[in-house]
Amino acid sequence: MRRKTIVIIVVVIAFTAFLAWRFLRPMNIFVVSEAFERPIPVKQLPASVTSQSAKACAQCHAEIYSEWSTAMHSRAWTDPYFQTDWKFDDSRQICKNCHIPLEDQQEHLVTGFRDKDKWEPILESNPRFDADLQHEGVTCNVCHLREGRILGPYGDTRAPHAITKMEDPNQVCLHCHVVQGKRWDTFFRMPPCGTVVEIESAVEKINCVQCHMPTVQRPLVAGGLIRAARRHLWRGGHDPEIVKRALKVEFSEKTIDTDRHRVTATLTNMGATHFLPTGTPDRYLTVTLQVLDASGKVLKSQEETLKRTVMWRPFIVDLWDTRLPYQQPRTYTMDFSTGGGKARLVEIVVRYHLLDEARRKRIQYENKESIFYDIYRESISIKQ
Ligand code: HEC
Ligand code: HEC
Ligand code: HEC
Ligand code: HEC
Ligand code: HEC
User: What pLDDT digit, counting tens, does each position of 341-364 carry?
Assistant: 899 999 999 999 999 999 999 999
pLDDT at res. 23: 67
Cα 1 to ligand 1 centre (Å): 73
Give the pLDDT band (50/70/90) at residue 217: very high
Q: Is 151 in the pocket of ligand 1 (CB under 6 A)?
A: no
Maximum Cα interatomic distance, the chain, rounded to a whole number of Å: 91
Q: Which residues contact 52 (CB under 8 A, 6 or more apart)?
A: 42, 45, 102, 104, 130, 133, 139, 141, 145
pLDDT at res. 181: 62
**Quick one: which ligand is closest to 221's CA?**
2
Nearest CA-CA partner of 329 in 240, 248, 218, 225: 248
Give the pLDDT band (50/70/90) at residue 194: low
More confident residue, 4 or 186: 4
In the chain, the N- to C-terminal Cα span, in Å, equals 78
pLDDT tens per residue, range 318-346: 788 899 999 999 999 999 999 888 999 99
Give the pLDDT band (50/70/90) at residue 186: low
Evaluate whether 244 touches 237 at the Cβ level (below 8 Å).
Answer: no
d(CA 49, CA 150): 10
d(CA 376, CA 60): 41
Query: For 223, left (φ over 0), alpha (ψ -120 to 50), or beta?
Result: left
Q: Is 172 in the pocket of ligand 1 (CB under 6 A)?
A: yes
pLDDT at res. 313: 75
Residue nearest to atom 31 of ligand 2 (CA): 159
Evaluate whether 258 touches 184 at the Cβ level (below 8 Å).
Answer: no
